[in-house]
Amino acid sequence: MTDKLPTRSENYSEWYNQLVQKAELADYAPVRGCMVVRPYGWALWENIQQALDRRFKATGHVNAAFPLFIPMSFLEKEKEHVEGFSPELAIVTIGGGEKLEEPLVVRPTSETIIGYMYSKWIKSYRDLPVLINQWGNVVRWEMRTRLFLRTLEFYWQEGHTAHATAQEAEEETLRMLDVYTDFAVNEAAVPVVPGLKSENERFAGAFRSYTIEAMMGDTRALQTGTSHFLGQNFAKAFDIQFLDRNNQLQHAWTTSWGLSTRFIGAIIMTHGDDQGLILPPRLAPTQVVIVPIYKNDDEKVRVMEVVERVQKELVDFRVHLDARTEMTPGFKFNEWELRGVPLRIEIGPKDVEKGSLAFARRDLPGKAGKSFVPQTNLPEQVTQALKTIQATLFERALAFRKANTYDPKDYGELSEVVQSGWAFSWWCGDAECEAKVKEETKATMRCIPLEQPGGEGLCIVCRRPAKQKVYFARAY
């Protein structure tokens, strides 16, 4: 790893890998495919957690914790589930020095063990709905891994709910997709397309899977959150039954939904530039970095007096004062640009004289993002600057997605555009057409967006009549 970050156009993949490490978000662990989330990365994740948890609680959910280990036999109770997950399992076969009678799976997801507990807890319609979320770690034995995007162990939240009717459960599924969309747009400034996954791409064991899809800086798609309507599949496999209002025994309807540390990858690749990260102000661990500038002790005394006053005034923001004496201001500028701090405040001797200070916006590097502002009303000025940066990041990402989304006129053009963009095309609904695109272009169907143009068209693959438009894209 050299000192200089590769540019995105040189090597997007290396830009990403090196940036994650240089910015000290994460590091490789000494176990293949596992990561260490470093303090800066974990602080970002904590902010993501808080923003989501607030929304979960506001929609009536509570948190709990279910075991890490799941008996192998549990997974086998839902046929599609075990088929989907069995190639990816980490299995504990020895405990306390002895071979276990039944091997334990390290959870890849918790529908099965939570389903078992729900069958114990739910007896009557009065016990419903059950609206539980869990923050934790899961393990999927992936062969090709990348920090945040795909690791053996990752951190996430998984919501698991049980309802008396199919309609209620489907409403919950869509409500949580909405929560994810709202979080992505308004906290992370990541524009996403909420939509339905094709049957082929749905979660193993789900009746319907919904997703939010985001376009990364290289135009590839990233699935950044999913919400599944599980029908009665898991309720039947685990016997989650309740007495309804008419005293009839019924199976419950369940959902599950998750968003993981993968989202950090989405933030990096949506906003980052050749200088490094650009973190959205609402989630940034450090929103404002203050860099004092002085040449001698006399200047230092005068500058630091203002610096300390500014720091005190900004106590309601996440502020870091970089008071290191062994680095030059220029070195510090580069470092905080690499680490994506949204706003830099520079204070030098001239600022002390003039009663001013310099704002440097991370979203507009160089002169374009620099302005000199009076030292008055600082909290208001910083609030405004952060809002502007947040809005700019979102607008820019949305414009980028629009500019790189195509409506190809035929299959030939689709094959071309998906090499460096998304195709938004009519699809007849046939899995064969979907498979053909994947095989021949490496683009997968990302989703059938909830928002449809209406009307009809011809399937981009087979030219038969089609009622829905879908996104095709190469994806992470």
Q: How far is the CB of 296 from a second copy (least distance, A)?
A: 23
Which residue in 16, 56, 155, 333 binds a second copy (CB under 8 A)? 155
Q: Which residue has the tokens 């899995």?
A: 431
CA distances 51 to 46, 56, 228, 375, 432, Å, are 9, 9, 21, 31, 40
Distance CA 85, CA 105 (A): 11
Whichever of 152 and 418 has its CB closer to a second copy, that residue is 152
With contacts defined by CB under 8 A, name the span among 135-143, 350-358, 436-444, 454-462 that binds a second copy: 135-143
Give the closest residue to 280 by CA, choosing from 36, 39, 24, 47: 47
Q: Which residues pair with 370 in a beta bridge?
A: 360
Asked if 426 and 466 touch (Cβ cutoff 8 Å), the reply is yes
- Is 382 a binding residue for a second copy by CB under 8 A? The answer is no
- Is 89 a binding residue for a second copy by CB under 8 A? The answer is yes
CA distances 107 to 85, 92, 188, 195, Å, are 10, 11, 28, 27
With contacts defined by CB under 8 A, name the span among 97-105, 304-312, 372-380, 457-465 that binds a second copy: 97-105
Q: Which amino acid, 4?
A: K
With contacts defined by CB under 8 A, name the span among 5-13, 39-47, 304-312, 442-450 that binds a second copy: 39-47
99: which 2 tokens?
């071979």
Which residue in 34, 174, 358, 398 binds a second copy (CB under 8 A)? 34
90: which 2 tokens?
């980490």
- Is 1 a binding residue for a second copy by CB under 8 A? The answer is no
Which residue in 2, 9, 58, 94 binds a second copy (CB under 8 A)? 94
Whichever of 336 and 472 has its CB closer to a second copy, that residue is 336
**Window 46-65: contact mask with a second copy (x via CB under 8 A):** x---------------xxxx
Give the closest residue to 225 by CA, choosing from 77, 35, 51: 51
Q: How far is the CB of 69 from a second copy (least distance, A)?
A: 5
CA distances 378 to 304, 311, 359, 455, Å, are 17, 10, 11, 52
Q: How far is the CB of 359 from a second copy (least distance, A)?
A: 27
Asked if 217 and 272 touch (Cβ cutoff 8 Å), the reply is yes
Q: How far is the CB of 329 from a second copy (least distance, A)?
A: 19
Q: How far is the CB of 355 from a second copy (least distance, A)?
A: 33
Q: What is the DSSP letter of 314?
A: T
- Is 30 a binding residue for a second copy by CB under 8 A? The answer is yes
191: which 2 tokens?
């524009």
Kindly report the number of other CB atoms within 10 A of residue 189's CB atom: 27
Which residue in 6, 17, 69, 371 binds a second copy (CB under 8 A)? 69
Residues 102-121 within binding reach of a second copy (CB under 8 A): 103-104, 106, 113, 116-117, 120-121
32: three-class secondary structure by DSSP: coil
- Is 96 a binding residue for a second copy by CB under 8 A? The answer is yes
CA angle in degrees (0–180, nearest 5) for 34-37-271:
110
Contacts of 429 (CB under 8 A, 6+ apart): 466, 467, 468
**Window 300-329: contact mask with a second copy (x via CB under 8 A):** --------------------------x---
Q: How far is the CB of 96 from a second copy (least distance, A)?
A: 4
Site residues for a second copy per CB under 8 A: 27, 29-31, 34-39, 41-43, 45-46, 62-71, 74, 86-97, 103-104, 106, 113, 116-117, 120-121, 126, 132, 136-137, 139, 141, 143, 152-153, 155, 326
